Amino acid sequence: MEFSEKEYIVPFFVENDFFRKKCKKCGKFFWTQDRTVDNCMEAPCCEYTFIHNPPTNRHYTLDELKEAFLKFFERNNHTRIQPYPVIARWRDDLFVTIASIADFQPFVTEGITPPPANPLVISQPCLRFIDIDNVGLTAGRHLTIFEMGGAHAFNYPDVKIYWKDDTVRYHHKFVTNVLGIDTENVSYKEGIWSGGGNAGPCLESCIGGLEVATLVFMQYKVVNDKYVDMPIKIVDTGYGMERFTWLSQGTISGFEAIYGSILDKIMHIAGLVDIDERLLIESVKNSALMDAVTISDRMILRKSVANKLAMDPIELDKIMVPIEGAYGIADHTKALVFMLAEGALPSNIKIGYLTRLLIRRTYRLLRLLGIENQFLDIVEMQINHWSKSFPHIKDMENEILEALIFEEKKYRDTLKRGMNLSKRIAKEIKSKGKTEIPIKTIIELYDSHGISPEIVRENVKSEGIRLSVPDNFYSLVAQRHTASTISKRKEITVDFELEKEVSNLPKTELLYYDDPYQTEFKAKILKIVNTPASGKCVVLDRTAFYPEGGGQISDSGTFLFDNKQMDVFSVQKIGNIVIHHVKSDYLVQGVEIIGKINWAHRLSLMRHHTSTHIIMGAVRRIVGEHAWQAGAQKEVEKSRLDVSHWKRITPKQLTNIEKMANSQIMTNLPVEVLWMPRDKAVQMYGFRLYQGGVVPGAKIRIVKIGDWDVEACGGTHLRRTGEIGLLKLLQTERIQDGVERITFASGFPALKYVQETEQAFRNVSRILNVPVNDTLKAVKGTSEELKEVRREVDRLKYTLAKFETEAMLRQAKEIFGIKLVLRLIKGADVDYLIKMAGFLVEKEPKAVTVICNVNETVKIVVMVGEEAVKIKVNAGKIANEVAKIVGGGGNGRADFGQGGGVKVDEASKALKIVEKVVKNQILGSEEEVI
């Protein structure tokens, strides 16, 4: 969609003699007071003019520039609000905060909740991975992490704040009056902005070749690729804090302006000193002339610069690549600090995948500079620097560093595996007569094994194998994972026929929220629906039955009508309608029924759900604040809680979590349930509210357990923690990389588990004939005795194997000077067979030993002596041929092979073909032996 000229004409332009022109380079329209200019004043349509020539009235640090911006808008009646997290936990369609407007989507932009202030101003840290391959190459135009200054106004049909004209006036006043930039140096390029489901015309502010701000007039909602008018017209301005800082300092690149002493230290550690400034200036100016500098563009850029400086482009590239790597390290380590401080732990899915991608890309850049051992030192510098403005980063320092130490070790292991794996793949490709690894394999190596294209290239070079990797490989992978693993609402099977049947019914009154202890109620049947997918379903005007949702299974119980009792076995919710699944032919639409909840079932679920919140609070206090809920399922007999953590929870930590959780139960804390406006709840309790995921609605239900835990939650809970009685943690398991699952029981199921465990312990003490208190000591003693018995059995097996070996060799058949030893054994273990075969070939190097062990299946062990191997006898091939007879397969080396099959009756027949197989191998014949 294109917008007409009238969308961009504002009184400010007319009053101040701005001209609308068309850029001769890009063809876009722009507004300027400079009659002579013929381009839009943004690279690549023009060069940077501010390098060593800043147009501002003074140099600003990033903090100073940010404060000047915020104070300017505060003076102009905007309320300053604190930045949101970089991990967008209030969104179910986005992992990271990509712009300041993302803070207010979808709840404010869709009119669900009011904004925290109106108008408001914020400086919001943002993350973007789409341009990660260009970070460093474009001298600061592309960053993974940056701060977006947002001045936002929300115009409602009945409340107007300000719109296009004032937006432009505010911007122009800021850049000219505050920053002191000449008005003729500012241009406004017309454009279209779209993101987060909203869109509108925009003006891009360009100064000295650099786009520094985008003024968006958000007035449409994007529905099925069509623009639909929004009732709320939103001023969405994005001021690039880092770009304005770069502009004000006129440094060679934006990284010097942003990172200052941190970058100096990285460059010094890497030995990047005494660099000819002309190389840097010309490289930066030339990078401005490309939309995005890819690896392919890089050499074009190098040649252009090298021609100006009369030097070899290859030599120039050798100088610039490490410098650009240092820029990338500065950017990536800052981004990692912010992500890890908010609990975005590295893993193979969702936000964790992006964290891991960034860690491994950083490590690759550090290796390029030969300073990978300085990784943590650089991260510590970043923590110390940025925690001055963001104190929570310092609070998380130990957890950030511990997570990186653990991940770095994993990556070192990955590099070792990668070396062997990539070489093996190279040999396979070479054996097929090919010389290039396909891109699909490269992506699989990175996604499944974490092995980067650079590592693969390094390891396969000696094999003469090439890689064809897209220049924007990391951007593509990041974008692919962001799109494919984006946090969506859980997909459930929907009965569309049922959904249609109940769509016009009034909202069900939810009695379980009024009183979760209510076990009986009266209600009217509004509709009875019977569908093939769902069976018989009943809709009431009101219900105390809790429907499945939020990780909690539904209530069960009965309906009473006309002296008959009908089971309610499952309950679900479609929109605002609660559906009861029943098995009965007696119910009639319009009648009144009595509903009875299965109280034991409900009470156990309430105990488990409240326990989940208590355990989560204990996990954070024992494991660390980085731990977030990654999933939960509340059931009657036991429940589970999934938490993010980079390594296994230790037995000691688990004991402490259990002790701490039970302490909160015994303290008998009050469990408060509050309905609060979303914005007020977030202001009061923070984004930890979204521990269990995003919850819909203008008002959200808050469950607060004393000062221990507070979450947005829709489940049923107890009134006090003491009603749980007992909580027992049953086990932990690693369900995926970066996620620990804690299984637990509460109330009577917990007591049952303890009693069963105690009874099992008593049974052991009875079997060992010792007092209960001495059981552990007795078990240890018995264990040691058992180990000694096993050692004695092994010694006897050794003696027996040697004895049997002598007898087997005497019975061996000789062919072509080879001693053929064949043996059918029943019920022996494989280790014994291998030991026996080993003795045979050790004693007789010309022996070929084939042993079949028959049990429920057939196990085959083949060993070939050293002399027999020399005349082409192959154990692995013998094992395969013998295994075919018993309905299986086998393989192995020339001297050792194994196989097996299921046809136990064919074992004797299988041994009979061995002689022919060996003869064929010695003679080089491929004659069929079966």
pLDDT tens-place string over residues 829-879: 777 778 778 888 888 898 999 988 898 899 999 999 999 998 889 999 999
- Tell me what pLDDT residue 829 has: 73
- Tell me what pLDDT residue 493 has: 58
The helix/strand/coil state of 642 is: strand
Q: What percent of the chain has pLDDT over 70?
A: 95
Average of pLDDT values for 591-618? Answer: 96
- Tell me what pLDDT residue 421 has: 79
Q: Which of 190, 115, 206, 212 is nearest to 155 (CA)?
A: 115
Q: For the whole model, what pTM was predicted?
A: 0.82
415/216 Cα distance (integer angstroms): 45
Q: Indicate the range of 78-92, 345-359, 783-797 predicted with least confidence.
A: 783-797
- Asked if pLDDT for residue 490 goes beyond 50, the answer is no
Q: Give Cβ neighbours of residue 224 (< 8 Å, ≥ 6 apart).
A: none
Q: Which residues of 424-461 are buried (b: 16+ CB within 10 A; e: fewer)?
A: ebbeebeeeeeeebeeebbbebbeeebbbbebbbebbe
692/700 Cα distance (integer angstroms): 13
Q: What percent of the chain has pLDDT over 90?
A: 58
Average of pLDDT values for 191-202? Answer: 86
Question: For residue range 872-914, what is the model confidence (pLDDT) as tens digits?
Answer: 899 999 999 999 999 998 888 889 999 999 998 998 998 999 9
Q: Indicate the range of 71-80, 361-370, 475-484 predicted with least confidence.
A: 475-484
Q: Which of 808, 845, 815 is nearest to 921 (CA)?
A: 815
- The dihedrals phi and psi of 619, each to the nearest 5 degrees, come to -60, -45
- Asked if pLDDT for residue 491 goes beyond 60, the answer is no
- Asked if pLDDT for residue 617 goes beyond 80, the answer is yes
Q: Indicate the range of 250-264, 291-305, 758-772 predicted with least confidence.
A: 291-305
Average of pLDDT values for 172-197? Answer: 93
The helix/strand/coil state of 193 is: strand
- Banded model confidence at residue 471, pLDDT cuts 50, 70, 90: low
Strand order in the sheet with 639-644: 629-633, 639-644, 739-746, 727-736
On the 0-12 / 13-18 / 19+ scale of CB atoms within 10 A, 222 is middle
- Asked if pLDDT for residue 69 goes beyond 70, the answer is yes
- Asked if pLDDT for residue 489 goes beyond 60, the answer is no
- Asked if pLDDT for residue 373 goes beyond 80, the answer is yes
Average of pLDDT values for 215-238? Answer: 90
User: What is the average pLDDT score of the chain?
Assistant: 89
Question: For residue range 804-824, what is the model confidence (pLDDT) as tens digits?
Answer: 777 788 788 888 888 898 888
- Tell me what pLDDT residue 411 has: 83
The residue that leads in pLDDT, 260 or 778, is 260
The helix/strand/coil state of 929 is: coil
- Asked if pLDDT for residue 192 goes beyond 60, the answer is yes
Please tell me what DSSP assigns to residue 178: I
CB atoms within 10 A of CB 108: 21
693/628 Cα distance (integer angstroms): 10
The helix/strand/coil state of 648 is: coil
- Asked if pLDDT for residue 340 goes beyond 80, the answer is yes
Q: Indicate the range of 141-150, 384-393, 516-525, 896-905 predicted with least confidence.
A: 896-905
- Asked if pLDDT for residue 483 goes beyond 60, the answer is no
Helix 277-287 vs helix 295-309: angle between axes, to the nearest 10 degrees? 130
- Asked if pLDDT for residue 657 goes beyond 70, the answer is yes
- Banded model confidence at residue 152, pLDDT cuts 50, 70, 90: very high
- Banded model confidence at residue 98, pLDDT cuts 50, 70, 90: very high
- Banded model confidence at residue 461, pLDDT cuts 50, 70, 90: confident
Q: Sort strands 509-510 and 542-543 into parallel, antiparallel or unpaired.
A: parallel
- Tell me what pLDDT residue 487 has: 40
